[in-house]
Chain A
Amino acid sequence: MKITLWGTRGSLASPGPETARYGGNTSCVEVRGGDGTVLVLDAGTGIRRLGATLPKTLRRVDVLLTHLHMDHIQGLGFFAPLRNPNVEVHIWGPASVTLGLRARLSRYLSPPLFPVHLRDMPSTVCLHEVPCAEFDVGEFHINSSLVCHPDPTVGYRIMTPDGVVVYLPDHEPALGAQQFPLSQDWTSGCALAENADLLIHDAQYTPQEYEDRVGFGHSSLPQAFEFGALAGVKHFVPFHHDPAHSDDDLDRLIAETVTAVKPPFQITPGAEGTTFALGTAEGTPGTKGNSGTG
């Protein structure tokens, strides 16, 4: 399977010369299977460019939303398949305690925030609430579970014989832990991420920034690496970069954290356009990262 990062920024789209390398688009990741199945992880502003690259022959696409914060759904109305009557768009995402997924999404996809109602999109839109029992989409077997972040939020574990990708873009497993990390079973998201071949994980803050933002739902870079080590992942992608961090800041912060924490896994900083190939021609799991220019 092939994984492409279309948006790696957290919280707010942040285009500009100082963010050109890592990119300014908010969370969106494409996972494409060998059988042509397309999964889209979150619908941040990166989804617009992704939508433009999909084959005209595509008849089904599955958008897996982790939660409904704006930086994860803002691109949805600009996702080309939603305007194509020949496509089934399956949207997976969490309900709240009182509102279903349709009602929650419609709060954004309706006037005055958006000119078109979700129900008026020309495509066939099918909604599915998560977390739910494990499910299959094409060659992918998918598990979702609630994780620590304000408002109902899930992470996804995507499994194929090629390997396992785990997506936890907004995650604060250290919240309230008097020592972090605790054991695996007491750490949010750890079962999802266990032994993943590729973990795409929140790494928004410096340790100093985290001190002022406890409870905002995000991790510092060292916490993110500690989490990855606890879960035994093989390859880690720092993701959901803070809008205030420039490319040079990110280069420096990630390098400093690697030196300080010495994480026991490969690291590829989450930059827009980066692709990963999971599995090899021989069928052995493993990742190859490729920095793109996107």
Chain B
Amino acid sequence: MIAKEVEIILARQWASYLAMPIFIVDPQGTLIYYNESAEHILGRRFEETGEMPVAEWATLFKASDEAGKPLDSDTLPLVIALAERRPARRDFWIRGLDDVLRHIEVSAFPLIGLGQRHLGAMAIVWEVSA
């Protein structure tokens, strides 16, 4: 068993109560948790998928800019927060498995635990109303 750090366990429990979609990734980029509100963005239920490696979850939605041009994954806030260990935000459009185009604003930040342990990153998603 690879146990989750207590900061990550508490982050999941907190996220499970929140209405904003929240994604949590580990230091390797594996999506280790997303809350119920995030399920409709991915079009999957966490109870069904469990954890997903980055290669898998990154294909579940298509991110594009205002003009419909696909975004490089390394410009996505969660990827920046993880790779560069700094907060990042931007707005963009995504089309999930439900084929709905959504305008979203994502704020992501690295998770640094006690003793400066790098634990991964967390992203909070706002849907921008039309």
Asked if A190 contacts B3 (CB within 8 A), the reply is yes
Contact A131 B115 (CB under 8 A): yes
Q: Is B6 an interface residue (CB 8 A)?
A: yes
The chain A residue with its CB closest to the CB of B6 is A146
Residue of B nearest to A94 (CB): B114
- Flag whether A272 is at the interface (Cβ < 8 A): no
> How many Å from the CB of B38 to the closest CB on chain A?
15
Q: Is the CB of A184 within 8 A of B1?
A: yes
Q: Given A97-B114, A148-B10, A176-B10, do A186 and B4 touch, yes or no (CB 8 Å)?
A: yes
B2 at the interface (CB under 8 A from A): yes
Q: Which residues of A contact B10 (CB under 8 A)?
A: 148, 175-176
Residues of B within 8 Å of A, CB-based: how many? 17
In the complex, which of the residues A95, A186, A191 contacts B12, with contact meaning CB atoms closer than 8 Å? A186
Number of interface residues of A (CB under 8 A): 22
Instruction: Specify which chain B residues have a CB less than 8 angstroms from the CB of A177 in the assembled complex.
Output: 13
Residues of chain B in range 1-55 having any CB-CB distance to chain A below 8 Å? 1-7, 9-10, 12-14, 16-17
A202 CB-CB contact with B under 8 Å: no
Interface residues in chain B, defined as those with a beta carbon under 8 Å from any beta carbon in chain A:
1-7, 9-10, 12-14, 16-17, 113-115
A residues adjacent to B (C-beta < 8 A): 94-97, 131, 145-148, 152, 175-178, 184-188, 190-191, 194
The 8 A-B residue pairs whose C-beta atoms are closest, nearest first, are: A176-B13, A191-B3, A146-B6, A185-B1, A184-B1, A188-B6, A188-B9, A185-B3
